[in-house]
């Protein structure tokens, strides 16, 4: 074991919540160490290959739970390296959700209006842009045309992608080797490094303990770079402030494992996890009908047959993001892409007795894989996820050399959640199957359960101590100096991709976090520009930051809609 080190701030995880915190604290003068469980890869190391040991298996974490499996990033840059770079803002009604609690889940001072200036900061830093229709690739164009023909609208999705650099390889889920995706490797993290932050990959945090001076000791193990089941070393680092951003499937596990040393955790730690209401439908497109009904054509006489070309998601249908609709009936339908290996697993051809994993129907479907159109639903669930007792180490029991683990998460969807999924499935069929354009094959959880790529809410912010683990400043209740800034802090499903909201909430948390660090003896200030020196959005948030540093409930206009 190595000797105990010390730093002002210890950040766990390098996704949006960790990278934003590491940058602002380092830029403000604090000593920052960031520990990341996964490897650190450069652009040229991202491979277009599914073999074991390729970047594809090294940078993912796939945890199988009881009723829900979670797919996330496992590398420096976290989810931003493996996400599809879709960055919409959450609709206003998402912040007013009541869910099964039957009362507003979000803190009273957080609304779409009060979060918009922080959204602007993220959009400027990455940057985030809205695609033009002439930049939308084949799959997005097909989905837009199908929506229009069925009487629905379609919208290009805001993305953190340099579309001029993108080569439309459609491997961005495995990391972008062309530098087109604006992951955190291109902005917040290099800026944090420039200000002196230290990033240590393959360091998995196991638990926290409290020091006599009121600070914390963070205990970690070093993970073997080839076999994640093997831990080669370990150590501890003392810090005055700890920022947990290991992801909604790992942060609550670390905190639950820390109870023996820290004392009782808030009731909401490891409860109320949301899968963002996610659902998949695979539409197998009839090429002749696509040509005749939609007027589409490609070189070589093909109408579509382009599932592997482009980037995803590029186009979404947002007609059901309507505040006047009842809760659980609101959802977005987003064209998506999975590479053939993963898509083959996800695609199921239902027969009379259920999904057919083998046989003629499945073989015919796979033969036509280039004609697939995957439609991704993000709806409203009931926060059904609950974590069991933590495993001995990590967030799951590793059952393969890389990527795969079995966790203690239990998720059994309520009637509300199931109703939302059924309504979204029907909406996909109404659009894609109109006049025989495609055959829709919905995801079924009968064999492997539900899934999510956007877990949320397992350590959520809120005003009610009985149902939220964090206060409005993202500080862990009963444990001053511990903050959570990842997706686990988001109180409920958002009906859209959550990365933009996670990053905006992290930006919003920084003034209060910096002030807390100052009170604990850290020589740090708040007020840095964006990672590349951007200042326009900073000027807009300056008056908000001053209030948040004192008391988030004093923000002007907190409940405007």
Q: Cβ(544)–Cβ(117) under 8 Å? A: yes
Give the C-alpha separation, 18 to 478, whole Å: 22
Gap between the Cα atoms of 74 and 57, Å rounded = 9
Q: In whole angstroms, what is the distance from residue 504 CA to residue 55 CA?
A: 29
Average of per-residue pLDDT values in the chain: 92
Each residue of 32-52: b (16+ CB within 10 Å) or e? bbbbbbbbbbeeeebbeeeee
C-alpha span between 268 and 101 (Å, rounded): 13
Residue for token pair 């402030």: 241
Pick from 527, 521, 530: which is nearest to 548 by CA?
527
d(CA 128, CA 115): 16
Which has the minimum average pLDDT: 29-38, 246-255, 303-312, 338-347?
A: 338-347
Average pLDDT over residues 504-517: 97
How many C-beta atoms lie closer than 10 Å to residue 446's C-beta? 9
> By C-alpha distance, which of 186, 135, 138 is closest to 163?
135
pLDDT at 448: 64
The dihedral built from the CA positions of residue 391, 393, 396 and 399, taken in this order, carries a sign that is negative
Collapsing DSSP to helix, strand or coil, 390 comes out as coil
**Is pTM beyond 0.85 here?**
yes
Lowest mean pLDDT among 28-37, 62-71, 92-101, 438-447: 438-447
The pLDDT of 249-261, averaged and rounded, is: 98
Mean pLDDT of 272-278: 97
Give the tens place of pLDDT for each residue, 411-458: 999 999 999 999 999 999 999 999 999 999 887 666 567 889 999 999
Give the distance, in angstroms, between the CA of residue 225 and the centroid of all CA atoms in the same chain. 24
pLDDT of residue 335: 95
85 touches 163 (CB < 8 A)? no
Complete DSSP assignment for 490-534 = S-S--SS--HHHHHHHHHHHHHHHHHHHHHTT---------TTS-
What was the pLDDT predicted at 59?
A: 95
Average of pLDDT values for 517-539?
Answer: 93
pLDDT, tens only, 349-401? 455 555 555 677 777 777 888 999 999 999 999 999 999 999 999 999 999 99
**Read out DSSP for 86-126?**
B-PPPPGGGGG--GGGTS--S-TT--HHHHHHHHHHHHHHT
- Listed in sequence order, the residues at least 6 apart from 109 whose beta carbon sits closer than 8 Å to its beta carbon are 472, 552, 553, 555, 558, 559
């Amino acid at each position: 074991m190595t000797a105990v080190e010390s730093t002002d701030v210890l950040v766990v995880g390098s996704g949006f919540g960790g990278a934003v915190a590491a940058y602002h604290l380092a830029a403000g003068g604090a000593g920052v160490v960031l520990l990341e469980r996964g490897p650190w890869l450069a652009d040229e190391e991202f491979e277009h290959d599914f073999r074991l040991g390729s970047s594809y298996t090294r940078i993912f974490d796939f945890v199988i739970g009881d009723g829900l499996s979670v797919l996330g990033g496992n590398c420096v840059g976290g989810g931003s390296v493996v996400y599809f770079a879709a960055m919409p803002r959450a609709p206003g009604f998402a912040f007013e959700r009541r869910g099964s609690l039957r009362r507003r889940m979000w803190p009273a001072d957080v609304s779409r209006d009060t979060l918009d200036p922080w959204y602007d900061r993220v959009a400027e830093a990455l940057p985030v842009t809205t695609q033009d229709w002439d930049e939308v690739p084949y799959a997005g164009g097909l989905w837009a045309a199908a929506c229009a023909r069925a009487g629905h609208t379609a919208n290009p999705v805001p993305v953190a992608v340099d579309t001029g650099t993108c080569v439309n390889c459609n491997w961005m889920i495995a990391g972008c080797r062309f530098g087109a995706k604006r992951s955190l490797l291109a902005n917040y993290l290099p800026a944090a490094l420039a200000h002196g932050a230290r990033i240590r990959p393959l360091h998995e945090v196991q638990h926290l303990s409290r020091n006599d001076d009121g600070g914390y000791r963070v205990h970690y193990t070093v993970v073997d770079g080839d076999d994640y089941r093997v831990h080669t070393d370990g150590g501890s680092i003392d810090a005055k402030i700890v920022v947990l951003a290991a992801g909604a499937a790992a942060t609550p596990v670390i905190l639950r494992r820390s109870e023996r040393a820290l004392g009782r955790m808030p009731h909401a730690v490891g409860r109320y996890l949301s899968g963002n209401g996610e659902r998949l439908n695979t539409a197998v497109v009839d090429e002749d009908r696509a040509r005749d009904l939609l007027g589409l054509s490609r070189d070589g006489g093909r109408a579509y047959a382009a599932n592997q070309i482009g980037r995803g998601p590029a186009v979404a249908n947002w007609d059901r993001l309507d505040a006047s609709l009842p809760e659980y009936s609101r959802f977005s339908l987003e064209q998506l892409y999975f590479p053939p290996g993963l898509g083959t697993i996800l695609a199921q051809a239902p027969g009379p007795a259920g999904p057919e994993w083998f046989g003629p129907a499945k073989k015919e479907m796979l033969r036509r894989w280039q004609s697939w159109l995957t439609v991704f639903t993000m709806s409203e669930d009931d926060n059904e996820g609950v974590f069991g007792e933590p495993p001995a180490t990590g967030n799951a029991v590793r059952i393969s050399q890389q990527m795969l683990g079995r966790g203690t998460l239990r998720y059994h969807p309520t009637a509300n959640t199931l109703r939302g999924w059924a309504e979204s499935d029907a909406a996909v069929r109404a659009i894609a199957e109109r006049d025989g354009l495609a055959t829709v094959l919905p995801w079924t959880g009968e064999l492997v359960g539900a899934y999510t790529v956007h877990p949320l809410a397992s350590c959520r912010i809120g005003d009610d101590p009985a149902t939220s683990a964090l206060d409005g400043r993202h500080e862990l209740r009963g444990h001053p100096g511990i903050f959570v800034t990842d997706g686990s802090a988001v109180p409920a499903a958002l009906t859209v991709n959550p990365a933009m909201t996670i990053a905006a909430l992290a930006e919003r948390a920084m003034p209060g976090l910096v002030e807390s660090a100052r009170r604990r003896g850290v020589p740090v200030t708040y007020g840095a520009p964006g990672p590349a020196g951007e200042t326009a959005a900073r000027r807009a948030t300056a008056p908000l930051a001053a209030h948040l540093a004192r008391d988030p409930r004093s923000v002007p206009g907190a409940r405007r809609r």
